Amino acid sequence: MNEPDRRRGLALLRRRVHVVLDGGSHDRVARVVHRGLIGLVLLSVVSVIFESVPEYSDSYADVFDFIEYVAVAAFTLEYVLRVWCAPEHALYAHRSPTAARLAFVGSGWALIDLAAFLPFYLSFYFSADLRVFLMLRLLRFFKFARYSPGIRTLLAVIEAERKALLAWLIILFGAVLFYSTAMHIAEHEAQPEKFGTIPDAMWWAIETVTTVGYGEVIPLTLAGKLIASFAMVTGFLLLGLPVGILATAFAEEIHRREFVVTWTMVASVPLFRGLDAAGIAEIMRYLRAQSLPRGALIVRKGDPAHSMYFIAEGEVEVELAHENVKLGEGQFFGEIAVLQKTSRTADVRATAPTKLLILDAYDLQTLTKRNPEIGEAIREIAQSRSELAPAERHGDMIEAELEEPASEDVNET
């Protein structure tokens, strides 16, 4: 093998490894690897927890050691491969391979990956308290964030609202400083051992403003009690601020991501690709997205037809009487039964994880009236599906029905 072929093969291998490590749920090998790593993280964390129990540590020391060795080996290999594949990452694609790898090593995700196995190697060179290394080993729990969309969304929300949260922390510190100073002035003579200095009073201010209220330090003077009352009310108000900030931002982030996904799904359907942004935005008013696992029954034979379906991703199988027909990304089904107001003539199942865009009957009528070219395109595409024309002259996607005026069938019914 010559040098160019070798480099090309190495580049393809690197790209494939990147897809496996960061490819998401659409790649079968990636799903297996991700689930394996999640299971290993969970197993290693549970192992660390039970290893702290003396009777378990003595009885199952070999098991705990084996789990630790396997986890460290897997996490080390994962880290090395991620560093090697860093040039394939979209964030670093514009950089040189070396610069991309250096940028990845300094990223937050890489630091979490490093923390998953580094304490094991440090234990050979530093004689520290084993409990310190135990705590460091538990840092690998945060690797769950890499595989959890919910946690990643929450981290993105915190990052987006960092300025508001920082302002809240400044206000909180200001309240603690104000109330500790006021309490020091009011109580330093009555309780010099507890409020003799502002730093001494700050402990009381923190536990009062945060509404913890251990009760070990309480004011004795009237002024002190009034200050404490205002501190409690202020604490309730301040603690509600970050909850409101994060809850609102989290809801907006979820809505934004759903909007982006829906827009992408609509634009991926060939029928809608020729539309401009305004046209897609109008269609999005009528469509709703649904994700289905493999094997899910989408349409049941004999049920009333209320909707038609666009396949944005995945594959479905129409179980006709004479044969089964598979439809893939960009195709649609169920339109004729909706337009002709008939029952379903076949079961339709998802043969792979599938994302559908659903258009209800009333909205289909409205859409075709406002966009006649879309209605015409639906009929033209359906007419080309001769393989979906069963002997019965009713139901989903039957070419014979399209060749006759819809009004005739409606009048017959």
Closest by CA position to 24, among listed 364, 185, 261: 261
- Cα gap 401→412, rounded to integer Å: 13
- Cα gap 214→391, rounded to integer Å: 79
Give 389's pLDDT tier (boundaries 50, 70, 90).
Answer: very low
Distance of CA 5 to the CA centre of its chain: 38
Write down the pTM of the prediction.
0.53
Contact 306, 359 (CB under 8 A): no
**Rounded (10°) angle between helices 277-284 and 222-268:** 110
Q: What is the pLDDT of residues 10-47, one digit of tens each?
A: 888 888 888 888 765 556 788 888 889 889 888 988 88
CB atoms within 10 A of CB 56: 15
Contact 390, 345 (CB under 8 A): yes
Give 393's pLDDT tier (boundaries 50, 70, 90).
Answer: very low
In the structure encoding, which two tokens stand for residue 69, read together?
A: 């060795």
Closest by CA position to 223, among listed 199, 200, 191: 191
385 pLDDT higher than 70:
no
For the chain, what are the domain ranges? Answer: 3-147, 162-256, 286-412
146 pLDDT higher than 60:
yes
| pLDDT for the residue 408 | 39
CATH top-level class for 3-147? mainly alpha
CB atoms within 10 A of CB 228: 20
128-137, 251-260, 316-325: the lowest-pLDDT one: 128-137
Q: What is the pLDDT of residues 264-278, one digit of tens each?
A: 777 777 777 667 777
Helix (H) or strand (E) holding 258: helix 222-268
Give 387's pLDDT tier (boundaries 50, 70, 90).
Answer: very low
Q: What is the pLDDT of residues 174-225, one digit of tens each?
A: 999 999 999 999 998 888 888 989 998 998 899 888 878 776 788 889 999 9
- Cα gap 346→305, rounded to integer Å: 11
- Cα gap 216→91, rounded to integer Å: 52
| pLDDT for the residue 391 | 39
* Percentage of the residues of the chain whose pLDDT score is greater than 70: 82
CB atoms within 10 A of CB 29: 11
User: Under CATH, which number does the domain 286-412 receive?
Assistant: 2.60.120.10
- Cα gap 314→328, rounded to integer Å: 6
Give 340's pLDDT tier (boundaries 50, 70, 90).
Answer: low
Q: Is 320 helix (H, G, I), strand (E, B) or coil?
A: coil
| pLDDT for the residue 259 | 63
- Cα gap 334→304, rounded to integer Å: 11
Q: What is the pLDDT of residues 86-123, one digit of tens each?
A: 888 767 767 888 998 999 999 888 888 888 888 888 87
Distance of CA 378 to the CA centre of its chain: 34
CB atoms within 10 A of CB 254: 13
Backbone dihedral angles phi then psi of residue 291, each to the nearest 5 degrees: -105, 135
- Cα gap 92→409, rounded to integer Å: 59
User: Under CATH, which number does the domain 162-256 receive?
Assistant: 1.10.287.70
List of residues 6+ apart from 330 with CB closer than 8 A: 268, 269, 270, 271, 311
- Cα gap 199→405, rounded to integer Å: 86
Which of 26-30, 345-349, 387-391 reaches the highest mean pLDDT? 345-349
